[in-house]
Amino acid sequence: MTPERKFGDVILSVEHITLTFGGVLALEDVSFDIRESEIRAIIGPNGAGKSSMLNVINGFYHPQEGQIMYRGATRSKMKPHYAASHGIARTFQNIALFKGMSTLDNIMTGRNTKMKRGLFWQAIRIGPAMTEEIKHRDYVEHIIDFLEIQAIRKTPVGRLPYGMQKRVELGRALAAEPDLLLLDEPMAGMNVEEKEDMCRFILDVNEQFGTTIALIEHDMGVVMDISDRVVVLDYGKKIADGTPDEVRANQDVIDAYLGISQEEVGAVN
């Protein structure tokens, strides 16, 4: 149970988002908001549209209808580069690390939007480019310390075990110093210890840096424990929105997860 915490204003809100592609209706008239410094969980059965929702926030998918309000600015679709350079970072359901690079280099790519030196200085390297590289390396090393992955700094990420890769991906997202962190099933495929570690990191990030977190997760225990508010999606529609306790007791949510048909509900009642 998380004690009541003070949250800021709404940092992001999606309004009446409808998304189709290839004939599939992925999201239908979905609206919810996320408040600053909170941990917002997005849950729902498989295929509910959760990842699609994150992709819309990120700018990878452009919704056919609806609007996205971020930090006061409303737009009908997000551009990935804008999102990335204005404080939105994310991890992916199927790890999207750069397999040909080391852990360190992968996390350094997260700093890309903050590094400015052009081709000429890069080619010479001695001078402004080196100074910039070291400055950002320093920040990345702090993240490496935070995530306790010093030992695998130079290892090509393709060789790392699954749980480690997930952690490196979190590091890459953190490197961008995000205000809003989108996590897509960060604990999928992990054992209990790894999950506890990941939970700890997420909570630390939220508490120490005040980072707002939007989290897709299937493990109900985790969701109920660490999130402040929950949105529930089913077949592309929002069916519940509230605190973990409220959502847990919601009949629609129970039906969605357990798949009770209308007749049975009538019979039970």
Partner 1 sequence: MIYRENGQFKTSYQADQAIFPIAQDRWFVYASIAAAFLVVPFVIDDYWANAVFLPFLAYAMAAIGLNLLTGYCGQVSLGTGGFMAVGAYSTFKLVTLFPELNFIVVVLLSGAITAVVGVLFGIPSLRIKGFYLAVATLAAQFFLVWLFNKVGWFFNYNATGQITMPPLEVFGVLVTGPRATPAASYLFCLSFVAVSALAAKNIVRGRIGRSWMAIRDMDIAAELIGIRPLEAKLSAFAVSSFYVGMAGSLYFAVWLGSAEPIEAFGIDQSFLVLFMIIIGGLGSILGSFLGAAFMVLMPIFLKNFMVDGLGVEVVTAKHVEIMLMGVLIVFFLIVEPHGFARLWQIGKEKLRLWPFPH
Partner 2 sequence: MGSELLFFSETVISGLMAGVMYSLVALGFVLIFKASGIFNFAQGVMCLFAALALYDFLSADGWASQLLGFTIPLWLAIVLTIAVMIVLAWLIERLVLQYLVKQDPIILFMATIGLAYVLEGVGDILFGSDVKPLDIGIPQGASDWALDTMGLYVEKLEVVAAVTAALLVAVLAVFFQRTRIGRALRAVADDHQAALSVGISLRAIWVIVWSVAGIVALVAGIMWGTKSGVQFSLSLIALKALPVLILGGFTSVPGAIVGGLIIGVGEKVAEVYAGPLVGGAIENWFAYMLALAFLLFRPQGLFGERIIERV
Binding site for partner 1 (CB under 8 A): 58-60, 80-81, 83-85, 89-90, 92, 96-101, 105, 108-110, 112-113, 115, 117, 119, 122-125, 129-130, 132-134, 137-138, 141, 172-173, 176
| Residue 255 DSSP symbol | H
Rounded to whole angstroms, the Cα distance separating 28 from 53 reads 11
Q: Which of 1, 3, 4, 22 binds partner 2 (CB under 8 A)?
A: 22
- At closest approach, how far in Å is the CB of 99 from partner 1? 5
Name which of 55 and 227 has its Cβ closer to partner 2.
55
Q: Cβ of 265: how many Cβ atoms within 10 Å?
A: 12
Under the binding rule (CB under 8 A), the answer on residue 92 touching partner 2 is: yes
Under the binding rule (CB under 8 A), the answer on residue 165 touching partner 2 is: no
The option from partner 1, partner 2, none interacting with 51 (CB < 5 to 8 A, set by class) reads partner 2
Could you tell me if 195 and 162 are in contact, meaning their C-beta atoms sit under 8 angstroms apart? no
Q: Cβ of 22: how many Cβ atoms within 10 Å?
A: 5
- At closest approach, how far in Å is the CB of 26 from partner 2? 11
Q: Show the tokens assigned to 68.
A: 């996205």
Q: What is the DSSP string of 103-136?
A: HHHHHHHTTGGG----HHHHHH-TTHHHHHHHHH
- At closest approach, how far in Å is the CB of 18 from partner 2? 18
Q: Show the tokens assigned to 10.
A: 């709404």
Residues in CB range of 71: below 8 A, 6 or more apart: 11, 12, 86, 87, 179
Under the binding rule (CB under 8 A), the answer on residue 23 touching partner 2 is: no
How far is CA 125 from its chain centroid?
34
Under the binding rule (CB under 8 A), the answer on residue 96 touching partner 2 is: yes
The option from partner 1, partner 2, none interacting with 5 (CB < 5 to 8 A, set by class) reads none
Name which of 89 and 247 has its Cβ closer to partner 2.
89
Q: Amino acid identity, residue 65?
A: E
Q: Which of 15, 31, 60, 117 binds partner 2 (CB under 8 A)?
A: 60
Residues interacting with partner 2, by CB under 8 A? 21-22, 51, 55, 60, 92-94, 96
